[in-house]
Structures are given as structure tokens and as C-alpha cells.
Homo-oligomer: A and B are copies of this chain.
Amino acid sequence: MRILVLGGDGYLGWPTSLHFSARGHEVTVVDNLSRRARHNERSTDSLTPILPFRARIDAWQRESGKNIDFLVGDLQDAEFVNRVVRDAQPEAIIHYAEQPSAPYSMIDRQHAVETQVNNVVGTLNLLFAIAEFAPDAHLVKLGTMGEYGTPNIAIEEGFIEIEHKGRKDTLPFPKIPGSFYHLSKVHDSNNIYFAVRSWGVRATDLNQGVVYGISTDETDIHPDLITRFDYDELFGTVINRFIVQAIIGHPLTVYGSGGQTRGFLNIRDTLRCVELAVLNPADQGEFRVFNQFTETFTVRELAGIVQTAAASVELPVAIESVADPRVEAEEHFYEPVAEKFLSLGLDPTYLSTELVTSVLNTASTYRDRIIEHAILPSTQWRRA
């Protein structure tokens, strides 16, 4: 298939591009390299060293014999988006190309506006380009489980049947997102669903949990193909933060009581889920929502797992509660449904102490690259 990967230089976009290329698909990758720019701005970096965009594309060609087309450009530039979609004539468009950090969106007004404009306008431009130049293309959009928040009922996959005053309808699942970033994804989902209803676009919205792991079949081929490992307060995720803290002997910082429960999945399962979505496309005029995670953990539980894994490689580390910089429930009911990918054939890789130990060992080889000032949260959800 002809596949366009938007945001293909990112943590997930890069391994996704290799995954499809390895399986014989024609892959075109687009990225504005914003993650690199944002790290430069803040003097932070991926723990794993990432080659320049062109160099990693060349490395893939060298190692696999396969070619990936790549383009540097921004989805906010409508002319660029039109040209890319028109020229690539993709059958599937995998859209990761968004500002993906909740804390980044909460820094101040400017970052909130930047996040929402970047994500909403990029996706709008893409929808118009699809409608005009590739109306049969299947849009596979990365959303987040964070769109739903933590309601007191089970979270269904995108839609819920509601019975009310003796009548019934199946309606979009209510969402209570927890940051301006999460809100931008809700805005996107609403815009995409409208384009599906109005123009017959085919779309799958993947409400993904928190992804962990850095090992995939393709990135493991050569160190030049490694993917990002972000652990800083803006772009890092909780497991990465804990792993880096264990390596430097800093107590694992749990926000508040640590009862925040979220969905998680291994990076290998992300690739498999995206592949399943692409190989089983939505119909014309169909808007599908898949919840994309394999298990749920509290932050407290994750700290315990990392602590145990670290102890097994002689990195004893304490767990410490710090004031929660976010506005969120620290203890809550959480029961999201994730059945659709299982029924499409997903065979999950579950989190284990052994897996965390393996990531810890890989990360340890880059311990000289750890930038300690970047780890602890400085961005506050509350306004002074």
C-alpha cells in the first residue's frame, strides 16, 4: 500500500515508518522536525542519540535495502499539505504530526494557543486535502485516552448507547480532557467526525494510552535506527522518568498519592495496532474509534515495578511523593474498554519487571547523556 506517515520523525512515527517499509509498503514520511526544535529551545534531548532526519533514512536504506521518501514541512502550510497528498496519492494516512505534550501546552497562554492552533489547523488542512485530492484515503489519526478523562462509568470505544427518558441513541462518548493538549485532540476528533459525516471521509481515531519501550524489530537492527527516549518533564512519559531517576539514584517522583490510573501499551503493540487499523480500513463515511492500550496501572504500581526492576540490576531507589503539578483526580474509578483491537487479532505484549529491566539496561548505556535539570516538573496546571 501507499502509506503517508505524518510526524514520521517522532518516537512512534519513526518505528511505524520502518515497520510498514519492512513489510513492503511504499512509505512517505513527513515531519516538521518540531520535536528536535523544541528540545533545542529548552536545552534538553532524547536519551538515545538520534541521527539527522536524512541520515536515519539513509541508514534504513543501507540496512534494509528499502527506500523511504521523506519531506520536511508543516501541516499548518496548506499548500504543502495539498501537494503532499496530491503527489503521494496515499491509500492510508497515519497522522502523528501533532504537538503531543500536555505540560508543554500548559506552560503559558502562548504554548496553549500554539498547541491548539498547530494541532487543529494541521488536521483541518489535512481533511480538506483528503476531500479534494485523495477522497478514498483512510485517515488513521492518533488521539489519546486522555481525551476521556476519568469518568465514573466504563469508557466505551468512542460511542455510547444512552437511554434517556424512554428513548435511545448512540452518541459520542462524553469527554473531559485534562490539558490544552488533550483538548486539542478532542477538537480534532470532533472536526474529523464532521468531515466523515459531511464528505464521506474514512477515518479511524486511535485513542491511545501511554506508550513505553524502545525496542522494535526494525529499530533493533542497528543503533542508527534507534527511536527517541524522552524523559524530560515536557516530552517524557512517567515510565521513562522513573527509569532515568532510577539510573541516577533519584527517588521516583510520584505525583500526589499516585492513584492516577491510565492505560498503557508497549511500543510493539502500537505498531501492530496501527497496522491492524491500516489493513482493516474504515468504510467510506465511517468514523471508527478504537481505544488503544493493553492494560491499566496506577502511577504507584508503575513506581513499584520500576523500583523492583532497578533493584534487580543493583540500582536501589526510593519512591517519593511530590505535590501534583496537574489538576486531576489522584484516586478514581477507571474502567476503559479496549476490545476492538483484540477482535482484530492483537496479541498484547504485557508490561513486566523483565521488560522494564531490559529498558533500564538499554537506557543505562546512555547514562552520560542524562540531563538532570530537565526531569522534575516545573509546569503547573494552576494559575498563581
Contact = CB atoms under 8 A, between A and B. Distances in A.
A177 B194 contact: yes
Contacts of A180: 124, 191, 194
A171 B154 CA distance: 12
B382 A198 contact: yes
B177 A152 contact: no
A323 interface: no
Given A151-B171, A153-B162, A112 B124 contact: yes
A293 to B, nearest CB: 19
A373 interface: no
Interface string A149-160: 001111010001
B383 A199 contact: yes
A169 B108 CA distance: 32
A333 B168 CA distance: 11
A80 to B, nearest CB: 13
A59 interface: no
A78 B109 contact: yes
Given A187-B187, A197-B327, A154 B167 contact: yes
Given A153-B167, A153-B168, A174 B177 contact: no
A117 B176 CA distance: 21
Contacts of A163: 153
B120 A187 contact: yes
Given A124-B109, A165-B153, A199-B382, A183 B190 contact: yes
Interface of A: 78, 108-110, 112-113, 116-117, 120-121, 124-125, 128, 131-132, 135, 151-154, 156, 160, 162-165, 167-169, 171-180, 183, 186-187, 190-191, 193-194, 197-199, 327, 333, 381-383
Contacts of A333: 167
Contacts of A116: 120-121, 124, 187, 191
A137 to B, nearest CB: 14
Contacts of A162: 153, 160, 162, 174
Contacts of A121: 113, 116-117
Given A109-B128, A197-B327, A190 B169 contact: no
